[in-house]
Structures are given as structure tokens and as C-alpha cells.
Amino acid sequence: MKAFVVTKYAKEGAVRAEERPEPTPGRGEVLVHVEAASVNPLDSKLAAGEFKALLPYKPSFVLGHDVAGVVMGVGPGVTGFAPGDRVFARAGDFQIGTFAEQVAVRESDLALVPASLSFEDAASLPLVALTAWQALVEKGQVTAGQKVLIHAGSGGVGTIAIQLAKHLGATVATTTSTANVEWVRELGADVVVDYRTERFEDVLSEYDLVLDPLGPDHLLRSLSVLRPGGLAIGIQGPPDPAFARRIGANPVVRLVMRLLSRKVRKAARRRGVSYSFLLMRADGSQLAEIASLVEEGTIRPVVDRVLPFDETLEALRLVDGGRVKGKVVVTMS
């Protein structure tokens, strides 16, 4: 089968098309014929080696985290899915490989595609929707009446997080560029800060939670808009000691994570707020709950463009450019 493979860790030229053997589903795994897959910033960062300390893949490996497709077969012990089912997933860590014609996915990572969704729309959701869910519902425990700031509201995570936060009853602020101000309002944002003309910390205050996908420098600025006791969640890092404990990191990695996050944790303590790092995980049961919200019309996928599977490298370049509204999807159709 054709697949897009990370042949070496590198900023450029790491990914190329290759022929790979068709996978065989093991115990608890489901073999999926890939109809569509979406591209995430994580894909290029992984290929560049930026996550080697957290996710030590050994090249060469097939890239791609999000998938929507049709079940071709199941391994021993699988009871929840059968050939012909329309499914989608964020493939679990060390089982990625959705930029291929077929992929084997753990049963526990899969959910049924909502009947109303195309494969392309379904493929756009798993990683970003699970990130939003685990930040706002699981970690942030957002409730009605709270104030939530979601940075980069026109991005993949931002577009879904705005909709989810509104569903939870929060007042939602977001940051975006001038061209997208009215568009993110249509998604549900109550307050929109145009980062080209305003500094968000000059106009926002007393927020309960900040979700930041932009990185440490931006995160430090975000601490100032939180109320005492508020929480900042970073999905671009830096990893913190709590995360190191959760993944069972060795002592050296724990020390590195402690040092990397020391500045932001110290700044947070001074302000009486908290910082938490989130590296989302695959979870089929959470994805099924998200699918229910999609069926209800509470959350809608946001797809910037769809490209043929053969143009996966171009799709990666588009996402790396950082000017995408929502997601870029590649399709076998």
C-alpha cells in the first residue's frame, strides 16, 4: 500500500511516499480502510524530531494521527466493531500511521462516524476535538457562567474549543487576525481580540481558564488575564512535573521537564494561578460523546480545504504555514 513515511528526523525532507506492507490487526485492533485523514501541526513537529523526548518513534514510520474510514477486518477480542462500519479515530501514540491506505487502530480509540458527516468532515475532528474536550471538560471542568479565553480561535483546536466552551455555558473570548474577527464570532465567541491591533492582556481580565496552543512566551502573557485561582492550559508546552509523573518518565526526563516549565510555573505561583500542560490522548469513548454533539448540531467541523491523498506533502506544507482556518484534510476519493 502507499503511505507517507518519516524516513529520518529533519526540519525538511523528512517525509516521503513509499510502498508499505498492508497492516494486520492484532488483538483488540481494528483494520480500517482510510477514506480520509487530516493534518495537524503535531505531524510536522513529530517529523522534525521536536517530540523525541515524549514520543520516541524510531524512523522509519508512517505519519498521520487522524482517520475516518471503513472497517475492513477485526483482530481477536474485538466486539464493538464489524466490517463495513464507518469509523473515525485519533490513532493512539505508537500506533499512528493514518497517512496510508490502511491502518490498524485499537478498538478503544475508535468511534462510529455520525450519520450526517462525510468522511472528510469526520477526519477533521478527532485530535482537535479530543484536545478541546480534555482541556475544557476533563482538566478545566468548565461550568456555566465561567469565562474562558481560547487563543488562536480560527485554528484547528480553537474552532472546536469555542463551540464546546459555548455548549458548556461559558463566556468565550478568543484571539485571531483581522480577517477572521467576524468569522470566529459566528462560531460562538463572545469577545474577539484582533491581535494585529490589540494586546489581549490589555483588554481581558478575571478569566477562569486560558487554553493556549501557541507556546511558552504567549502562555506567560496569558497568566495576567486569569483571576486568582484560575488555570492556564498549554498544549504546545512546556511539559510540567505533573505530566512527567503521569507518563512515568525516567528521572532525567522528569528533571528536564521540571526545568523547562520552571519559569511559567513560578510566574503562575506569583499571580496565584495554576499552569498545566496537556498532551492529548486517544479516547474512543470521549470521541463518541463528541460525535453525539455533532449529531445534535452543537459542534460542526471546520475544514479549510480537501486535497487528494497524493498531495499529502502539500497538505503538510499548508498547515505549517499557519494560515489555515480549521483543518486541512486529505482524501482517497
Task: Write the CATH number for 196.
Answer: 3.40.50.720
Residues 78 and 176 in one domain: no
Name the pTM for this structure. Answer: 0.96
CA distance linking residue 261 with residue 258, whole number of Å = 5
Residue 285 in domain: no
Q: What cell was used for 8?
A: 529520518
- Which residues are registered as beta bridge partners of 66? 90
Residue 290 in domain: no
Residues 272 and 306 in one domain: no
* Residue of 287, 314, 303 lying closest to 127 (CA atoms): 287
Residues 25 and 161 in one domain: no
Residue 90 in domain: yes
Number of independent structural domains in the chain: 2
Question: Which SS3 state, helix, strand or coil, does residue 151 take?
Answer: coil
Residue 23 in domain: yes
Residues 270 and 132 in one domain: yes
Residue 295 in domain: no
Q: Do residues 65 and 91 make contact, with C-beta atoms less than 8 angstroms apart?
A: yes
Residues 120 and 81 in one domain: yes
Residues 17 and 49 in one domain: yes
In the block, cell 472546536 appears at: 160
Residues 79 and 218 in one domain: no
Residues 179 and 240 in one domain: yes
Cα 199 from chain centroid?
Answer: 26
Q: Do residues 229 and 205 make contact, with C-beta atoms less than 8 angstroms apart?
A: no
CA distance linking residue 218 with residue 224, whole number of Å = 11
Residue 233 in domain: yes
Residues 42 and 120 in one domain: yes
Per-residue pLDDT of the chain (333 residues; tens, 9 = 90+): 999 999 999 988 999 999 999 999 999 999 999 999 999 999 999 999 998 878 889 999 999 999 999 999 999 999 999 999 999 999 999 999 999 999 999 999 999 999 999 999 999 999 999 999 999 999 999 999 999 999 999 999 999 999 999 999 999 999 999 999 999 999 999 999 999 999 999 999 999 999 999 988 889 999 999 999 999 999 988 888 888 888 787 888 788 888 888 999 999 999 999 999 999 999 999 999 999 999 999 999 999 999 999 999 999 999 998 889 999 999 998
Q: Give the contacts of 29 (CB within 8 A, at least 6 positions apart).
A: 74, 75, 78, 104, 105, 106, 107
Could you tell me the residue range of the domain that residue 100 belongs to?
2-125+301-331
Q: Do residues 290 and 284 make contact, with C-beta atoms less than 8 angstroms apart?
A: no
CA distance linking residue 78 with residue 81, whole number of Å = 7
Residues 326 and 253 in one domain: no
**CATH code at 118?**
3.90.180.10
Residue 61 in domain: yes
Residues 189 and 89 in one domain: no
Residue 166 in domain: yes
* Angle, vertex CA 54, rays to CA 275 and CA 312, nearest 5: 105
Residues 228 and 110 in one domain: no
Per-residue DSSP letter, 137: I
Segments in 51-150 forming alpha helices (H): 119-123, 126-133
